Amino acid sequence: MSDYLLEVNNLTKRFPIKGGVFGKEVGAVYAVNNVSFKIPRGQTLGLVGESGCGKTTLGRSLLRLIEPTSGEVKFNGQNILELSGPEMRAMRRKMQIIFQDPYASLNPRMTIGDILREPMDIHGLFPGKEERKKRLYELIDQVQLQRDALNKYPHEFSGGQRQRVCIARALAVEPEFIVCDEPVSALDVSVQAQVVNLLMDLQKDLGLTYLFIAHDLKVVEYISSRVAVMYLGNMVEVAESSELYGHARHPYTKALFSAIPMPKPGLNKERIILQGDIPSPMNPPSGCHFHPRCWMATEECKKEYPAVTQQSESHYYRCFNPID
Ligand SMILES: Nc1ncnc2c1ncn2[C@@H]1O[C@H](COP(=O)(O)OP(=O)(O)OP(=O)(O)O)[C@@H](O)[C@H]1O
Ligand SMILES: [Mg+2]
């Protein structure tokens, strides 16, 4: 068995943009463009980048909730993009997703017990009455809710508790991999740490592998072994989190991470303020998409998209003029 649970090669998702009365294609967005990365079993890859850079599209494409346009998603060595509909449905038991909004993702008319039973029914798991009951208690205990929660409805819970229900629902089918799409962004700051710690404890206990999408770089650093940075559909740098904070090579990563306030004022790095707005993804700049905002850009950057430079086994970037 490979050490990598997930191996993604040249994954691309192109959304056609239709317009006019006849719905003719008037353009396209490459929301995810030729993205490659690997996640070792039992580890977390953080995924960051400005709004609209393609994080959600990437996360959903991995589970084929959005059908990728091209590329490869190898799960346990098997390219899941080649699976048939029924094969993929069976595979989804191993790959789950947790969404940002725990309010929108729970059916208000179902009890927590029913919400947790549903995925087990779909996959025919724990069918016996006693084993089902045992399993429900186990799930509730795992996410640290009270067992009487099973008979209650979502509206009886706080945001943090609802996110725990969503986590229990994902765990119900015994997944190996979970895409966490900004799972704490909608929660109060005081609750965020509890949910993040819960996810980390579960990872340790159950050997889970995560792709953890977040806006908050501090949260990402805390939970992730490695972090990937996206810009306009491209993965521009991937490295150990400590490495990205101290030794980012891509100017965009450097700028992104320079914005984080450090606990001691003396440690604060010089903040890099990026010029200009994020360009339209429908009409991205030529060459390296970041060049119009980059203070290191040269003529070369306007012409060609830089290939991947592999700095070490765990650190790579796409840039012609990396930072020393
Ligand atoms: N169904 C769709 N049809 C057309 N374009 C889409 C569709 N879904 C996403 N996009 C476009 O793809 C790009 C990436 O969107 P995505 O939601 O993946 O970004 P994101 O990084 O998750 O942003 P956020 O941080 O705001 O959640 C955006 O330009 C978006 O407008
Ligand atoms: Mg998103």
Instruction: Decide if 74 is inside a domain.
Output: yes
- Which atom, in ligand 1's list, is nearest to the CA of 50? 25
Q: Among the residues of the chain, which ranges form H helices?
A: 55-62, 85-91, 112-122, 129-142, 159-171, 189-206, 217-223, 241-247, 251-258, 299-303
**How many Å apart are CA 27 and CA 21, to the nearest integer?**
15
Residue 15 near ligand 1, beta carbon < 6 Å? yes
Instruction: Decide if 117 is inside a domain.
Output: no
CATH code of the domain in which 230 resides? 3.40.50.300
pLDDT tens sequence across 226-254: 999 999 999 999 999 888 888 999 999 99
Instruction: Decide if 42 is inside a domain.
Output: yes
- Which atom, in ligand 1's list, is nearest to the CA of 15? 4
Nearest bound ligand to CA 180?
A: 2
Residue 29 near ligand 1, beta carbon < 6 Å? yes
> What's the CA angle centered on 78, arms 72 and 83, to 5 degrees?
80
- Which atom, in ligand 1's list, is nearest to the CA of 215? 25
Instruction: Decide if 164 is inside a domain.
Output: no
Residue 279 near ligand 1, beta carbon < 6 Å? no
Which domain does 306 fall in, by range? 4-94+175-317
Instruction: Decide if 107 is inside a domain.
Output: no
pLDDT tens sequence across 179-212: 999 999 989 988 999 999 999 999 999 999 999 9
pLDDT tens sequence across 96-138: 999 988 788 899 999 999 999 999 999 999 999 999 999 999 9
Instruction: Decide if 167 is inside a domain.
Output: no
Looking at the structure of the chain, the number of domains it has is 1
**How many Å apart are CA 306 and CA 298, to the nearest integer?**
12
Instruction: Decide if 160 is inside a domain.
Output: no
Instruction: Decide if 139 is inside a domain.
Output: no
- Full-model pTM: 0.94
**How many Å apart are CA 141 and CA 205, to the nearest integer?**
13
